[in-house]
Structures are given as structure tokens and as C-alpha cells.
Amino acid sequence: MDPLPVMSLYSSLPHNIRQNLTSFSGTLFISNKTRDCEDRSYNIPAHETVSSLPLQMGLYFSAIFFPFWWVSELVMLHLKYSMLPGYYQLILLAAIIILTLTESVRLCLGYMGNLQEKLPELAGFWLLSFVIQLPVILFLLTDESIIITPLERGVHIIYFSLLVLELVVGFRALREMTNHLVKRFYLQQFHKSELFQRHQRSQETGIPFQIGPVFHV
């Protein structure tokens, strides 16, 4: 049985989205599943958590900082709007709207994926950070044609630093969570197989089948 569809069940996202995000995580991180599951370390605590504290700290600071970034960007855009060419006016407006909408979804997915250990949500958070937020903030930070003010440069640098931090620690959290869920899945399958074999032996020998101590997965 493939562990990826099973892992995608632990998500509130639409079916197609969570399947694609789970497949994305599996493609990146489940190359060593056989080696990990052959070490016979079956004593995984029932309540073991794989949530990332550094990632949660980054999300917390981002949630606090983003309103300040948003207000600063709107104020500076209002001051320099008339000095910009028409196409740059539209580009900046689109960039702020995209960042605002994506940031709300991104932080929500990050909190759910990390705290509730939901793999599709965490993968969605990482993809939004890398594919959308990072290119847009780099554009706002480096394109001098948009008349970057000192205040904008400062808040963009802070925003960019938090984003890079979340990408790095988020990648590690995504890898650890994927490997943990895959390992737990295979241990569950091994335990079910072991119980089935014991039941078969009890039928062959006539010895009553008794379930011994059950390890937690």
C-alpha cells in the first residue's frame, strides 16, 4: 500500500490539492523509506510531535510584522504614486494585492501544517513562500525603477529575511514530517502483518491467540 494517499487524508484541503501537495512532498523526501523502515526501531511514542519550533517562531513574527509592512507600503505608494509610470503603478498595486492575499493563506497553511502536523498544508505553505512571495518581494527590493524609499527598503529587507528563514526551516520541517509519517505508516503495516501471522499460527497449532503488548505508532 502506498503511504502517500494515506498521509493526504489528514488534511482539510480539497482532494485534488491535498493529493498533489502530498505527492510533491513524497517525491522530494521518500527516497530512503526502505532504509528508514528496516532499522527495526519500532518504539515510536504515541504522542511524539514533529512540529518545528523555529518555523513556528518565524510564522509568529511574520504575522506580527506583516501589518506594519502593509501600512508602510501603502503610505509610500500613495506618496510616490504620481511620480511612477502608468505600468509601474499597475505592477505595484498588483504586487501588494498578491502579497496581501497570498500572505493570509500562507500563514494559515503554515500554522495548520506545523502545529497540527498536516503534510499537505505544510507543503502548500512552502510552495506559496517559494513560488509567489519570494519572487515578488525580491522585485520590490531590487527594482530601482519603482523609486524605493528608505522605509520601504528597510521593511522589505525584514520581510525577505523572515521569508528566507521560513523557507529554510520549513524545508527541514517538511522533510522530517514526511519521513516520520512514512515510517509510522510502515510500522503500522508491519504490526498488522505480525498480528495476522500470529493469528494464522494459532489456528494451525490450536493454541489460543493472545495479543501481547502493543507498541504505539
Name the nearest CA neighbour of 118 among 32, 181, 53: 181
pLDDT of amino acid 98: 94
Q: Which pLDDT score is estimated for 36? A: 44
Please name which of 103, 102, 107, 97 lies closest in space to residue 73, comparing C-alpha atoms. Answer: 97
Q: What is the Cα–Cα distance from 183 to 46, expressed in whole angstroms?
A: 13
Let me know if 31 is exposed, middle or buried by CB neighbors in 10 A (0-12, 13-18, 19+).
Answer: exposed
- 51 Cβ contact list (under 8 Å, min separation 6): 114, 115, 117, 173
Question: What amino acid is encoded at 79 in this protein?
Answer: L
Q: pTM of the entire structure?
A: 0.70
Q: How far apart are CA 98 and CA 66, in angstroms?
A: 13
> Helix H segments across the chain?
3-7, 15-29, 33-37, 53-80, 86-115, 119-128, 134-142, 150-205
CA 214 to the chain's CA centroid? 32
Residue keyed to cell 522533510: 175
Query: Can you read off the three cell numbers belonging to residue 164?
Result: 528566507
Retrieve residue 182's grid coordinates. 512514512
pLDDT reported for residue 120: 86
| Rounded CA Rg of the chain | 24
Q: What is the largest CA-CA distance in the chain?
A: 90
| Domain range list for the chain | 52-205
For 100, the grid coordinates are 496581501
Predicted pLDDT at 50: 74
Distance of CA 114 to the CA centre of its chain: 7
Say whether pLDDT at 99 is over 70. Answer: yes
Question: What does the pLDDT look like over 1-42, one tens digit per residue?
Answer: 544 454 444 556 665 665 666 665 556 555 444 444 444 444
Residue whose cell numbers read 515578488? 136
| Structure-model confidence comparison of residues 32 and 75, the more confident one | 75
